[in-house]
Structure 1
């Protein structure tokens, strides 16, 4: 199976990217996960959505076509979102607007919220509430909130808070194992034609 990691921070070299790197390392240790695709929105490489996405504009095809193909080949996703002013970043919301061709449809996703302090819950609630509607992404019940992120998942183990690192590392492993189990189960479900009906291209 192939798992995609979406890093929702616009900042190059972000703490979210650091967490995503730890996610990738742990996915590599899961036998069922054969490959990992990473989409890092650091630097905001994706322009804002416009109607050209609906008309197969050549510029959009050249820009987003390769990303769309990688996403379509994934069996599940990890979405890492920092909390900015109590919200998910604009670039991450824009990413979901761009995924209008079923790339994420009926695939499981594991949400990870990231906070420099004691936040991180609001993006989880926000993304669960809205980002699945037209993408038809299926968020699994498990999620992770990485608070005080500067103190965990650092390459230098001495920079980590031992107690927090142990707990969050174990929770992360549990969540990723859940994700892979859902990815395996939903693979068969996506073959069921009842899931798609041209009369209802969007969620209500």
Structure 2
């Protein structure tokens, strides 16, 4: 059974990032023998580097990523950058990072016309620096507020196809 860790890089309730990620998760559900662990920061209490306190959630996400065969990393673009929540998750994955040598696909969403291009480039640089194997063709969802209906369904066939392709690309890489 293949294990996939899916990282939601926002804690905003009913976020567009989570709506886009739902399409990716649905694609994984179409495949046999796939186990997906969602790392959802709304259910975690993560510390900033150097802070003292309970590290149970840090240990939990490190274990999920360590056991994963592949990673999906998603983040909204806030002010031209990845969310602080996404960066905090990366920091809590330690250094050396448990993301090292893991294949990662990336997805970002933004309200603007170019989507999350800036964020995905920053995320690619960060993930590559810590040793992750960042796969090509990240998905950037532009004008995300127009792509998803209120019920969370995607109304853009091209975007839906790209999001589903993200899951398929990761599985193809893992299968070698």
Alignment equivalent of 1:69, drawn from 63, 66, 86: 63
Q: CA deviation at 1:51?
A: 6.7
Deviations 1:123-154 (A, max 9, x none): 101011123322x1111012101112223344
1:49 equivalent in structure 2: 49
Q: Which residue of 2 aligns with 1:38?
A: 38
CA distance in 2, matches of 1:154, 1:109: 28
The residue number in structure 1 matching 2:120 is: 124
Structure 1 unaligned spans of 5+: 53-57, 186-204
Q: Which has the larger radius of gyration?
A: 1
Matched residue, 2:79: 85
In structure 2, relative to structure 1, the CA distance for the partners of 1:37 and 1:96 (3 Å cut) is same
Displacement after TM superposition at 1:47 (Å): 2.1
Equivalent residue for 1:8?
9
Scaled by the length of structure 1, the TM-score of the pair is: 0.75
CA contact (8 A) 2:23 2:160 kept: no
Q: Is the 8 A contact 1:93 1:131 kept in 2?
A: no
Alpha-carbon distance in 1 for matches of 2:125, 2:42: 24
Q: Does the 8 Å contact 1:121/1:145 carry over to 2?
A: yes
Which residues of 2 match residues 1-204 of structure 1 at below 5 A? 1-31=2-32, 34-42=34-42, 45-50=45-50, 59-60=54-55, 62-100=56-94, 102-118=97-113, 119-134=115-130, 136-154=131-149, 156=151, 160-161=154-155, 165-185=156-176
CA positional deviation for 1:113: 1.1
Q: Map Cα deviations across residues 73-97 of structure 1 (whole Å, 9 max, x no partner).
A: 1111111110100000112112112
Query: What is the SS of the residue equivalent to 2:78?
Result: coil
TM-score (norm 2): 0.86
Unaligned runs of 5+ in 2: none
State which drifts further: 3-12 or 41-50.
41-50
Highest relative contact order (Cα 8 Å, sep 6+), 1 or 2?
2
Name whichever of 42-51 and 5-14 sits farther off.
42-51
